[in-house]
Structure 1
Amino acid sequence: MDPRQELVDHLTRQLVGPVGDDDEVLDAPPDRQYLMGTLYPQQADLQRQLALAADDPEAPGAEQDALDVDPAADPVPETNSWLPASLGLSFYTKANHIEVSCTAARYETRRNESGRGRRWQRVPLPPETHTIGPDRIEVSVLDSRAKIQVTRRSYGDGTLITVALINEKHHDGSGGKAPSWDDMIFQ
């Protein structure tokens, strides 16, 4: 294999996941294990998520002896106050129909066999491919956990299209609770 491709594959596994098999089990929360490729429930607050994770003495990665337990100060705090619930891509085309493929996984929170601590079991969601014409703007995907939203704008003799994948779960933030890992979409 090409060394560059090996590097790209390694970085993808480390940053987006999964590192292990399709049904891997993690000892750390998946949104801490993987720094990229997470769609949080809508309205999930970053500062609340960090504060609650640090307050949980059983939460992996929240050990008080570690050198990096406090996140760095954010020089522009409001720009990163909400965790991403969607991702999008825009492109120009003359085609009337587009084909959109998506695949993802979720992680179920489970108790360790000893009853102390948690683990996260990866559950792959079935891959999907949809052909979307000008008559459709939304398609429910990933077992109704997300939707594909298509926005079309005429531009010259073609169309500027934005395709977004949006997590359909909502986080109400009541009771000061952090968003559930079970409501996040990964990889």
Structure 2
Amino acid sequence: MLTLINSMYQFSEKFSTFCNSEKLRQELGLNILGIINTISRKDFIFQEFNNCVKENNIRKIEDIKLETLDLLILYAHYILEDNVISNEKLEDFSFLKLLFKIKEGDFRKYKNIEIKEILKKQFIRAYSDQRIDNEEEMQSVNLQSLFDLSYDEFENLKKEEVINALLNGANPKDLDIAKIPKGFNF
């Protein structure tokens, strides 16, 4: 696991552009905006982040978990505008989860509705042509990784769109599924 003490990280241009967006500034509180200003500089330095957290009277980063999850949800929407999760975007998102101490299960526990909304939109797009290509398979893996979902959780969330694709004549072999969803009969 990456240690953050004395570490530097350089966020992508995509993240910097996102941090300067008006939508972000409208959606988030002042505490988190101060932190975003600190981390979105060219080279992120952990000690500067730590100092900013203290200056904003935040005892520990977990105390603003909901705000940091909101930030990550907004960033997920932003990076998915072009329907591609590049390695660069995935690295930024993973670093933010590490930085904000987001644990596996936090998205499902605190932002379940929001992640379902994001995933549904992506599944509709992916399954609309009743075929999942290699690029869409990789996108699915990256989506699962963004929100720290187990294989079973992810399969369950995409079940409705898989069934819709099957009802519209899709060949199960073309859908990147391990098995036909329970309750579905040809």
TM-score (norm 2): 0.22
Choose between structure 1 and 2: higher helix proportion.
Answer: 2
TM-score (norm 1): 0.22
